Structure 1
Amino acid sequence: MKAGLAALGLALATAVAGASPIDDLTFAAEMNDPRGVQALLAQGVDPNLADSRGRTPLFTAVRENSLKALAPLLASPRLQVDNANASGETPLMIAAVRGSLPAVKALVARGAAVNRTGWTPLHYACSGPDNGVAAYLLAQGAELNARSENGTTPLMMAARYGNSELVPLLLKAGAEPRAANEQELTAADFAQRGGREGVAAELRRAMAERQGAGTAK
């Protein structure tokens, strides 16, 4: 039954009028069809190309959480795992913001960059459901106090958008609560603007503690 469905998925892909090989590969990734992906890669389809809708197979697999299809894509020696989209986002950033720990681990194992200039995968992990992604990225050497182009840190993103466990996790790891972005907003301000009073209070306490520790020295 499952084999039949997989075959049907590939047949549907190839039956689309005017579909190119990269359209077929992206469709197979979308449908989480590893056999289809493997077959098309074996035929020499370049996994780094965009289909007729501007989608690449890797981004599509990550967005759809198509983990079975992701595996053969990552196994392709031709795949450029850090190619960014038009918004400057890498596949690892998309996996991170979606809280897909299996995809994040698979991408990092394939060599995806954990750190980069500007917005980082850790920023993205801290603005989504997380599911352990932030802790994993930190264990892989993610820069804890990374700054985006406007000075935003992962802690600021966690303060306003992340789940309840992220701020304590980042503070325990040594995140700097006193840091401010270009608008002079701290993580506590981010939490306040997001209506998260408890988080804002926790961050202000952390700021006072850090300030007191610095004064004591």
Structure 2
Amino acid sequence: MNPHDRLLLDAAKAGDTDAVRAALAAGAAPETRDEDLRTPLLLAVLGDHLRAAEALVAAGADPNAPDSRADSPWLVTGVTGSVRMMRALLPAGPDLRQRNRFGGISLIPAAERGHVGYVRAVLAETDIDVDHVNRLGWTALLEPVILGDGDFRHEEVVRLLLAAGADPWLADSKGVTAYEHAVRRGFDGLARLLRAAQERPGGDGRSAR
């Protein structure tokens, strides 16, 4: 490996923006990879090192470059829930349809983890698919109900998704809707939100999306 590439990887991981810029100026490749195929930008995103990531984006770093686990800088923003990092990557043209190893887009892990700010921002500032279905048969609306703990964060995520047009009738691979999962898990607040969405005028049109 080019020694400048190694310096760039280490600087990005540490969030040392000056060292990132110095390594780039010395000829380091923005798309160099470590042993796990992680790029400098992915390492910066994982550490939420905003300035380092911005320097890499300015140098043309790819927000969609996958590592050995099929994670990418863009996909990881949904895992960390960092709104500022999400916004830093938008000028680089991330692929909103890019899928992780579970077949999900960035919105789905963000919803599952209750990252309210991220869900709000990505829905408002991009045209991400609110009803994308992953390989498990789950949507962003199903994940916070199936995997969440029914707290206020997950309720707010569900409100945001429904307000953005998420289909409350989309069921999982076994035909169970988010409302039915909420009832089964005893999440009364979520169940009320989802039932109200199903009962809204026009809410009984079972989407084929």
Q: Aligning the two structures, in what range does the TM-score lie when normalised by the shorter sequence? A: 0.7 to 0.9
Q: Which of 29, 32, 35 is residue 46 of structure 1 equivalent to?
A: 29
Once the two structures are TM-superposed, the CA of residue 99 in structure 1 deviates from its matched residue by: 1.2
User: Is 2:114–2:157's contact at 8 Å kept on the other side of the alignment?
Assistant: no
User: Is 1:29–1:70's contact at 8 Å kept on the other side of the alignment?
Assistant: yes
Q: Provide TM-score, normalisation by structure 2.
A: 0.81
Q: Which of 95, 108, 112 is residue 113 of structure 1 equivalent to?
A: 95
Q: Provide TM-score, normalisation by structure 1.
A: 0.78
Structure number having the greater helix percentage: 1
Task: Give the Cα–Cα distance (whole angstroms) in 2 for the partners of residues 55 and 97 of structure 1.
Answer: 16
Partner of 1:137: 122
Q: 1:25 to 1:208 in 2, by over 3 A?
A: same
SS in 2 for 1:148: coil
Once the two structures are TM-superposed, the CA of residue 167 in structure 1 deviates from its matched residue by: 0.5
User: Is 1:98–1:129's contact at 8 Å kept on the other side of the alignment?
Assistant: no
Task: Give the Cα–Cα distance (whole angstroms) in 1 for the partners of residues 156 and 36 of structure 2.
Answer: 38
Once the two structures are TM-superposed, the CA of residue 54 in structure 1 deviates from its matched residue by: 4.5
Q: After the TM superposition, which residues 51-70 of structure 1 pair with which residues of structure 2 at under 5 Å, given as runs?
A: 51-52=34-35, 54-70=37-53
Moved more, 83-92 or 68-77: 83-92
How many residue pairs end up in the alignment?
197
Once the two structures are TM-superposed, the CA of residue 137 in structure 1 deviates from its matched residue by: 1.7
Once the two structures are TM-superposed, the CA of residue 200 in structure 1 deviates from its matched residue by: 2.7
Q: 1:37 to 1:153 in 2, by over 3 A?
A: same
Once the two structures are TM-superposed, the CA of residue 179 in structure 1 deviates from its matched residue by: 0.5
After superposition, give the CA deviation of every residue in 1:72-119 in whole Å (9 maximum; x if it has no partner). Answer: 111112x22211222323211211221100100111121112233541
SS in 1 for 2:168: coil
Question: One-letter code of the match for 1:147?
Answer: V
1:167 aligns with 2:152: no
Q: Which of 143, 148, 152 is residue 134 of structure 2 equivalent to?
A: 148
Q: Which runs of 5+ in 1 are unaligned?
A: 1-17
Task: Give the Cα–Cα distance (whole angstroms) in 2 for the partners of residues 142 and 135 of structure 1.
Answer: 12
Question: One-letter code of the match for 1:155?
Answer: L
1:158 aligns with 2:144: yes
SS in 2 for 1:61: helix
SS in 1 for 2:56: helix
Larger Rg: 1
Once the two structures are TM-superposed, the CA of residue 53 in structure 1 deviates from its matched residue by: 5.5
Once the two structures are TM-superposed, the CA of residue 33 in structure 1 deviates from its matched residue by: 0.8
Q: 1:191 to 1:60 in 2, by over 3 A?
A: farther
Moved more, 129-138 or 146-155: 129-138
Once the two structures are TM-superposed, the CA of residue 156 in structure 1 deviates from its matched residue by: 0.9
Once the two structures are TM-superposed, the CA of residue 202 in structure 1 deviates from its matched residue by: 2.5
Q: Which runs of 4+ in 1 moved over 6 A?
A: none
